[in-house]
Structure 1
């Protein structure tokens, strides 16, 4: 048990079965410090300027000498696909041009059929115009860009090291960085429809689809070891459903992307579905045009979704499983599927893909899905109803997925007794779904303060008409503690710097779901960063504080709490498209007019922190 000072909520030491809270008072004493007893002596001396800049450089990743394999190559893996599908290529969809020129109207999977999906998407202000139209060859990063920035005065004081097998890297997602949305065969996804008409779209973003080799060069030069990215379903299978043609250009592209990562000395982490659900699953009248992506119907409850996703997952694995050590099936599905049918479909689809990967392909890498939950902490830890509210909040967001997948346990009662249409898994389903994840992937950006609905949780949950805005969680979520203080330093978005809660969160996950924890995303958007001058954007000390404090707590969780934290991936490796919002999460910036990249101080600080402790 650990004891830390808190003027806010006191200390919450959580166990799986109960919550125990200790409080303390007074200011924290300096460690190992005694008051000086010597008298002060003032004096003059000859003055000269003595400070000089200490020049240090980032250390790049060396090129590999061998490449490890994790599964069969495509020609052998393809034998496990029940149906064979033709590979095809399509051109680009350019408004007002492509449909007119297409003549293959009788081909259900031809250019005209593909173009009609974009015509029907009714995109506003759509343009495919970017700087690049083909893959850009990389150039070495100049040494002048790799000089480390001045250190902050205060920094971590720990003396721990990361385990030898600790995974450290950065993350991004296709829809948020690639651009080229209607080029080389990609068909529409939900994200081309989600952002309000007056906000930026994902049509160009960082042009990573053509610029990926230079982005990888920049990551390698900084010493990054793992690169997490996603592959768009609608680029691999433009017509989405089983039996439809595979896009050969997409297969070739991601083969080259993966090989480029490996040749650079890094390891790929691949996500199959990162928000960009195919548009065909979603009825046009059910799409919420609102920047809050947490209230969007992504079609996960569609009757054809499970079979279609499993087919897509098998195609990805057949093509790429031999070289990819870590796979994620779904990214944060709760944001798009907080209804029973949607989550139930996600869980069943994930389990099928997992078993195909390990049981049929006999692959030796690791696979999971990654969840999201701003860790719920009780507003008043001495109030049992607040503790109950925090437990319910975390349970409904995590145990909904994790009970059956990690523990082979039934859906929580809070789900079965609250969500419309909820039904228990039968014994056969539980056995099949159980133990279908190799690690617990979580995106734990921040914490949230939780207390019950005014009328109480039970009364709120009984209101199945959902007229209460707090339904179905039936708890209040706040960012101030019981004494009125913010729970941490505030970003431009929902993220607050809450490192001690983060450490407790890691302990909660490890001890509750009993699986190694991968911090698959964490990051901090500096307040109004985009409005600052370039030099001020680069010197992002508040983001450095976020990363270094969180990573310090990772070390403490490992060495003091016995938590198996297998790694951490920083979000995002570059400023990207945040669903039309101005928030910048990147540890690199980008000039949208020239696509020129620049490193930020936080990138150097984070890498330097990890490398010094390996």
Structure 2
């Protein structure tokens, strides 16, 4: 290697390193630059008369006012119905595995007997199945008592920033259908992959939070405390139980979500709709649901996106939902964390092409004025040693594999990263026509930015990284940890893999903004306090670690906006209530508790702190 070439390589790596967070070496204790010098060498001591003078000051949450007028984002369904093929609506009722009377209308391939057969086929994968909780009809909401809206005591140490959020900043909370709704076989809903995963739940609870019947009370509680946006998912298996184009639309589902959206708006909030949140209809597993658990070559689970009928069926479903609700919904998410449920290269191809088609349908045919995007996975890789070029290269490879396989074509109109094409043999090549069609088909970059992971290269004995059952490193092919170079964890640990890493969040936002040149919404972030479910209720409610997580992350978001020039459009916290976390109820991410017997909710301190932080930093009009 010639001297000039060697210098070029060093310059290249130097550029990479400059983009990373560096260790700042110093000596002595932490400086207190905010403190002025003392005026005396020693204090003066004196006696005074003691009296109890402290008194509790009551502060109340500020509710979101009901609107005096409402904004629309597209024409109503009556004007858009011609954009989709003629649809037939019907209803199916509910499935009861212990029913003594069964439907016999097998002459109708979409009749009640065929619908019941969907659940009968799923029966072997359901354990101790019950979908019946306390409620079987929608519960009318009641006002939240003022005593519940008294703000909790502040933590002693808190944010010290002086920034404001930009006008129109989005702030809200989220949940997803399979994690909160329950009623999974009621009113025509068919089984999904998420329902099958429930068999691994130690409590085998298919009822979850009964939000399907309690949604009005849940929305009432959020509006009363001041939440502005409510993010939820609509299950494909409720809207189209048979999943495919040409099958009937479930009238009860359309009416349910239309009423939910109307109630959100009536309470002064705005809805955010996700089209699929890990709940693929079981039909796309081709009667082999066990493949859900196979080791994939791209993400972590098999979402059946590679099924040859999935793309057209999903786009058809998305068009039905968009045409019905686009007039009232300002923010749309096509796929939730697609990387997590992409099985292989064909899955990735399906996701980006289906997303692009729905983006064009919304903006070019519906002429919607809202925003369309997707929610990308949360793990951002940072190098273990940012001054080591091989660690920087490993972190770049990790992020390219996690993010660029979707980000390159959708945001930049660029081909897949080389690291993806090298490791995934069945990837589908993209043509120039494909890339031209996909480029710019997202109005924001949605990131579920819970935490970060520390990346270093594999050792010589661990390479090459091949897709074998015993290879725990495939497909990212880097060493991942949550420990820093000198042995400290990167932050305070939760019950799961989430660590409190606010400064790295700011780093992540800068990376996304400068690489993909798109406005950003933090579409999920949250913190499951360790062993919270085992604590007495009063201790669960005073969840200071979760408050610390949210307030520190949002403080760094403000710095990202004002000091780094990053366009962050908003934040949506996960989750507004403790829910089923695809396995059990033990990792509690919620900002409200749920009594699993009575379904009663209680606000946690973190929800007050989250909303109060934003309202205190909203520029007065």
Q: TM-score range by the shorter chain?
A: over 0.9
Q: Provide the rounded CA distance (Å) in 2 between the counterparts of 1:443 and 1:559.
A: 21
Corresponding residue for residue 491 of structure 2: 488
576, 579, 589: which is aligned to 2:582?
579
Shift of 1:107: 1.1
In structure 2, what is the Cα distance between the partners aligned to 1:20 and 1:247?
52
Cα distance in 1 for residues equivalent to 2:445 and 2:15:
18
Is the CA contact 1:70–1:364 (under 8 Å) kept in the aligned structure 2?
yes
- 1:295-318: CA deviations, max 9, x gaps? 321201100000000000000011
**Contact 2:304 2:343 (C-alpha < 8 Å) held by counterparts:** no
Query: How far did residue 345 of structure 1 move?
Result: 0.5
Residue 352 to residue 421, structure 1, CA distance change in 2 (3 Å): same
Provide the rounded CA distance (Å) in 2 between the counterparts of 1:14 and 1:244.
Answer: 55
Tell me the CA shift for residue 422 of structure 1.
Answer: 1.8
Residue 553, structure 1, aligned to residue 556, structure 2: yes
- Per the alignment, do residues 362 and 373 of structure 1 end up closer, same or farther by CA in structure 2, a change over 3 Å counting? same
Whether the 8 Å CA contact 1:201–1:577 is kept in 2: the answer is no
Give, in angstroms, the shift of residue 47 of structure 1. 1.0
**Counterpart pick for 1:305 among 288, 302, 310:** 310
Distance of 1:346 and 1:200 partners within structure 2: 33
Q: Is the 8 A contact 1:220 1:266 kept in 2?
A: yes
Partner deviation per Cα, 1:147-187 (whole Å, 9 max, x = no partner): 00011100000000000121011111111000000000000
Distance 1:15 1:266 in 2: 43
Instruction: Tell me the SS of whatever aligns to 2:503.
Output: helix
Matches within 5 A, 1:202-281: 203-281=206-284
Measure, in 2, the Cα distance between the counterparts of 1:565 and 1:243.
40
Distance 2:129 2:52 in 1: 58
**CA shift at 1:338, angstroms?**
4.5
Alpha-carbon distance in 2 for matches of 1:423, 1:549: 41
Q: How does 1:116-515 map to 2 (within 5 A)?
A: 116-122=117-123, 123-197=126-200, 199-201=202-204, 203-282=206-285, 283-288=288-293, 295-455=300-460, 459-461=463-465, 463=466, 465=468, 467-515=470-518
Residue pair 1:193, 1:289 contacting (<8 A) in 2 also: no
- Deviation string, structure 1 residues 225-250 (Cα, Å, up to 9, x no partner): 10000000000000000100000000
Is there any run of 5+ residues in structure 1 with no aligned partner, and where?
1-11
Q: Tell me whether 369-378 or 15-24 shows the greater mean CA deviation.
A: 15-24
Secondary structure class of the residue paired with 2:22: strand
SS at match of 1:405: helix
Q: Distance in 1 between matches of 2:250 and 2:443?
A: 30
Q: Which moved more, 1:560-569 or 1:578-587?
A: 578-587
Of the structure 1 ranges 24-33 and 597-606, higher mean CA displacement relative to structure 2 is found in: 24-33
- Post-superposition offset of 1:394: 0.8
Equivalent residue number for residue 601 of structure 1: 605
Shift of 1:32: 2.6
Distance 1:391 1:592 in 2: 44
TM-score normalised over the length of structure 2: 0.93
SS of 1:489 mapped into structure 2: coil
- The answer on whether the counterparts of 1:574 and 1:587 sit within 8 Å (CA) in structure 2 is yes
- After TM superposition, give the deviation of residue 17 of structure 1 in Å: 9.1
1: CA distance between counterparts of 2:192 and 2:67?
Answer: 36
Residue of structure 2 in register with 1:8 after alignment: none
Query: Does the CA contact (< 8 Å) of 1:194 and 1:289 recur in 2?
Result: no
Q: Distance in 1 between matches of 2:294 and 2:135?
A: 29
Query: Which residue in the other structure is 1:61 paired with?
Result: 64
SS at match of 2:533: helix
Task: Give 1:460 deviation, angstroms.
Answer: 2.2
Instruction: Indicate the residue corresponding to 2:592 in structure 1.
Output: 588
- SS of residue in 1 equivalent to 2:25: coil
Judge conservation of contact 2:127–2:199 (CA < 8 Å) in 1. Answer: no
Using the alignment, how far apart are the partners of 1:251 and 1:448 within structure 2? 41
Count of aligned residue pairs for this structure pair = 597
Deviation at 1:220, TM superposition (A): 0.3
* 2:535 is equivalent to residue 532 of structure 1: yes
**Aligned alpha-carbon RMSD (Å):** 1.9
Offset of residue 456 of structure 1 = 8.0
TM-aligned CA deviation for residue 466 of structure 1: 6.4
Provide the residue aligned with 2:615 in structure 1.
611
Moved over 6 A (4+): 12-17
Q: 1:125 to 1:13 in 2, by over 3 A?
A: farther
8 Å contact kept, 1:242–1:311? yes
Distance 1:154 1:318, change over 3 A: same
State the distance in 2 between where 1:305 and 1:116 align. 21
Task: Name the structure 2 match of 1:24.
Answer: 25
Could you tell me which residue of structure 2 aligns to residue 91 of structure 1?
93
How far did residue 102 of structure 1 move? 1.0
- The offset of 1:454, in angstroms, is 1.0
Distance 1:532 1:208 in 2: 24
Deviation at 1:372, TM superposition (A): 0.7
